[in-house]
Amino acid sequence: MRLSRYFLPILRETPKEAEIVSHRLMLRAGMIRQESAGIYAWLPLGLRVLNKVCAVIREEQNRSGAIELLMPTIQSADLWRESGRYDAYGKEMLRIKDRHEREMLFGPTNEEMITEIFRAYVRSYKDLPLNLYHLQWKFRDEVRPRFGVMRSREFLMKDAYSFDLDQAGARHAYNKMFVAYLRTFQRLGLKSIPMRADTGPIGGDLSHEFIVLASTGESEVFCHKDYLDFAVPPADTNFDDIAGIQATVDKWTSLYAATSEMHDAAAYDAIPADRRVSARGIEVGHIFYFGTKYSEPMRAVVNGPDGKEHTVHMGSYGIGPSRVVAAAIEASHDEQGIVWPDEIAPFKVALLNLRQGDSAVDAACADLYAKLSAKGVDVLYDDRDERPGGKFATADVIGLPWQLMVGPKSLAEGKVELKRRATGERELLSPVDAVARLTA
């Protein structure tokens, strides 16, 4: 993409309403624009990141055996009356009426709807297990939205729903999502730790929040240091290996890890002092087994091998991609701006023409741009008629992993400069070698 033809409204100064670093940088980098309190437009650069986050989530959901569909944002109030949540949900639910005065709502989540879809078609245990997910915008009319897309009213969510014949099956479904989440967050470049979450009236131990460690995180977390070095399950993990998956989950739940709400000071103190981690974190995912909470009132039943009806056991598994974008920035930035993890960077390389109008520099840039693009590298070519300083600052704030700088001085010696955003390391090398390095 040529920057001169792109839409990238960089802000030189920080808008005063932005309090936390991810919000400030997302505004400065031209990723989002606030349209109302807690409601944001995703500008081109932000959308590229959001889409990359979603792509990774999809791949890992699919790998674990979950199946994608897409449910609407607008739901009928009657559906929610079946589960009793229409009255229970409160003012966080945005309720609306259509032209026929029918009561509708903008979905804050989709348990009722997925249960309705399931019960309409599935009759036999032979169709189980089943895990259906979608990526869709949700709306929760929070009293006080804040921190940009970190806590917005409208937000994107990946929500998966599992259906099993019994609790044992549901546990395996839960474990598969647990493993998929470990893989997902690692690929997104985030260090996540599953922490025991409150299961409310359902009880049991099948609820975990996935917390990303970031010094600016919203909540206080406590865990055993060994978690930081645990190996994440590999891509060829066999998700049908019930014992194997269980072993992985057992390992990742063997040590102490809790948010302040679930904190047990005695258990934490039992950890050797040099292994204790007290830090801050951001919740980016939540997995939950809730048994027959919805299948019971909504009559989602299948015939079992015993010829009898069984109410299915369900679980739901959420990741907030829009929040993940903000969390990634909280976890990875510096004074200059964002430092994107490679997998979710909006572009891989910023190609900086440091002397726009110089025929040799222009030609070298055009050649590099063509060669990199031809090899499938996402390049943002800064071909604006700007001074070098401005181009450096722009590249730094939007945080692309690599900066490839072409100026008259080094080019006279047949060299261009490649800078790694994260470390600041610079290297002078020939254009041919630069392309080789970026396509390796």
x-or-dash string of contact with RNA, 24-63, rule CB under 7 A: ----------x-xxx-------------------------
Between CA 214 and CA 304 the distance in angstroms is 46
Taking each helix axis from N to C terminus, what angle separates 431-439 and 359-374, rounded to the nearest 10 degrees? 30
Of 70-78, 297-305, 307-315, 352-360: span binding RNA (CB under 7 A): 352-360
Q: In this structure, are residues 435 and 374 in contact, taking their beta carbons and an 8 Å threshold? A: no
Is 388 among the residues that bind RNA (CB under 7 A)? Answer: yes
Q: How far is CA 34 from CA 20, 23, 305, in A?
A: 15, 11, 54
Q: How far is the CB of 371 from RNA (least distance, A)?
A: 18
Q: Is 110 in the site for RNA (CB under 7 A)?
A: no
Nearest CA to 160 out of 174, 172, 150, 148 is that of 174
Task: Report if residue 394 touches RNA, rule: CB under 7 A.
Answer: yes
Q: Can you tell me the distance from the alpha carbon of 267 to that of 220, in angstroms, rounded to the nearest whole number?
A: 16
Determine, following the binding rule CB under 7 A, whether residue 390 of this chain makes contact with RNA: yes
Nearer to RNA, 38 or 169 (CB): 38
Q: Is 396 in the site for RNA (CB under 7 A)?
A: yes
3-state class (DSSP) for residue 371: helix
Q: In the complex with RNA, which residue's Cβ is closer, 173 or 365?
A: 365
Can you tell me whether residue 315 is helix, strand or coil?
strand
Three-state secondary-structure class, residue 100: coil
- Can residue 320 be called a binding residue for RNA (CB under 7 A)? yes
As given in the structure block, the two tokens for residue 142 are 């929070």
Among 379, 400, 417, 438, binds RNA (CB under 7 A): 417
Residue number with CB closer to RNA (132 or 302): 132
Residue type, 143: V
Tell me how far apart the alpha carbons of residues 297 and 78 are, in angstroms, rounded to a whole number.
Answer: 13
Binding segment toward RNA, per CB under 7 A, in 72-80, 173-181, 238-246, 314-322: 314-322
> Which of 15, 84, 305, 414 lies at the binding interface for RNA (CB under 7 A)?
15
Q: Give min distance, CB of 275 to RNA, in A.
A: 27
The window from 227-235, 236-244, 366-374, 413-421 that contacts RNA (CB under 7 A) reads 413-421
Q: What is the 3-state secondary structure (H, E, C) of 121-132?
A: HCCEHHHCCEEE
Enter the tokens of residue 438.
């970026």
Tokens representing residue 351 in the block: 């190609």
Q: Does the footprint of RNA cover residue 422 (CB under 7 A)?
A: no
Q: How many residues bind RNA (CB under 7 A)?
A: 64
What the block records as the tokens of 172 is 């395996």
| 222 counts as binding RNA under rule CB under 7 A | no
Assess 414 for contact with RNA (CB under 7 A): no
Q: Does 85 bind RNA (CB under 7 A)?
A: no
Report the alpha-carbon angle 203-209-211, nearest 5.
155
The least CB distance from residue 299 to RNA, in Å, is: 26
Based on CB atoms, which residue is closest to RNA, 28 or 183?
28
**DSSP structure string for 198-231:** --GGG-SS-EEEEEEE-TT-SEEEEEEGGGGGPP
Q: Write the single-letter amino acid at 423.
A: T
Which residues of the chain form contacts with RNA (CB under 7 A)?
10-17, 19, 34, 36-38, 140, 142-147, 150-153, 155, 157, 209, 218, 283-286, 318-320, 322-323, 336, 354-357, 386-390, 392-394, 396-397, 403, 405-411, 416-417, 419, 426
